[in-house]
């Protein structure tokens, strides 16, 4: 999946998926299942030293796994995000959904927003965000934002430019993630609704922080790519 050089503000996406024109109720995957993908990228992953205009790292977002395509253009009702996947984002992205985990980087990630607890967390999250802006203490808002999103994450430390085998098992009560056979995340209570498989590379960025900053856009890129030579999805 290749992105050519792109200017800022011009959205580009290279993607494969299996949900096509399906309504969400007919998305093909639900637990229990196992996914295994062998992949590598053209550029290194962003780290703590990466600036918002750094063109030496993989830009935009990338990854593979399962999600509910919440921003549908096919007439479905817009939904809060649900995902069980390997996800990458580079600055200026800053989706700070889990306290202590950067809002960017190469991650194993679960997002479970479509649950009763998320609705109950809406008002406390808004109040904590407002308090954080006044007090400059965003820690309470960060905890409530995680409860709102149902996010669970772990940074992946291996070199994204080298071939690695990424595996996950999605069960009704937990999701388990491995890189080259080493477990990196166990996430209890993942989504259980039907999701679609997607593998992609784009130049989008998104900012959602406990301080109430929310914005989206398209970042400039040099030519870059995400290569996949094997995908296996097996119901368990």
- Name the β-bridge partners of 154: 108
Residue appearing with tokens 């772990």: 154
Rounded to an integer, the average pLDDT of 126-147 is: 52
Task: State the chain's mean pLDDT as an integer.
Answer: 86
- Name the β-bridge partners of 233: 35
pLDDT of residue 139: 57
Which string of DSSP letters, residue by residue, matches 50-67?
--TT-TTS--SEEEEEEE
For residues 26 and 13, the answer to whether their CB atoms sit within 8 Å is no
Q: Is 25 helix (H, G, I), strand (E, B) or coil?
A: helix
For residues 144 and 216, the answer to whether their CB atoms sit within 8 Å is no
pLDDT of residue 210: 60
Q: Is 112 helix (H, G, I), strand (E, B) or coil?
A: strand
User: Taking the complete model, does pTM exceed 0.85, yes or no?
Assistant: yes
Tell me yes or no: is domain 2-46+56-235 CATH 2.60.120.200: yes
CA distances from 231 to 107, 163, 214 (A): 18, 13, 34
For residues 217 and 93, the answer to whether their CB atoms sit within 8 Å is no
C-alpha closest to that of 1 among 224, 232, 219? 224
pLDDT in tens, 6-37: 998 899 999 999 998 888 889 999 999 999 99
For residues 3 and 12, the answer to whether their CB atoms sit within 8 Å is yes
pLDDT in tens, 57-108: 999 999 999 999 987 545 454 677 899 999 999 999 988 888 888 989 999 9
């Amino acid at each position: 999946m290749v992105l050519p050089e792109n200017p800022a503000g011009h959205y580009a996406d290279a993607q494969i998926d299996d949900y096509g024109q399906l309504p969400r109720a007919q998305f093909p995957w639900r637990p229990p299942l196992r996914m295994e993908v062998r992949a590598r990228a053209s550029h290194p992953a962003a780290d703590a030293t990466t600036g918002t205009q750094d063109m030496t790292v993989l830009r935009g977002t990338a990854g593979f796994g399962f999600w509910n395509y919440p921003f549908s253009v096919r007439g479905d009702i817009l939904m809060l995000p649900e995902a069980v996947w390997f996800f990458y984002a580079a600055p200026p992205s800053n989706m700070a959904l889990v306290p202590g985990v950067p809002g960017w980087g190469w991650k194993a990630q679960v997002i479970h927003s479509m649950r009763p607890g998320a609705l109950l967390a809406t008002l406390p999250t808004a109040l904590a965000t407002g308090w954080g802006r006044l007090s400059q203490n965003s820690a309470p808002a960060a905890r409530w934002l995680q409860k709102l999103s149902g996010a669970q994450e772990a940074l992946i430390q291996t070199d994204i430019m080298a071939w690695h085998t990424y595996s996950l098992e999605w069960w009704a009560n937990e999701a388990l993630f491995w890189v080259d056979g080493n477990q990196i995340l166990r996430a209890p209570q993942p989504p259980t609704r039907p999701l679609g498989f997607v593998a992609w590379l784009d130049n989008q960025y998104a900012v959602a922080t406990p301080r109430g900053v929310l914005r989206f856009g398209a970042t400039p890129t040099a030519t870059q790519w995400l290569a996949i030579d094997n995908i296996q999805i097996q119901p368990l």
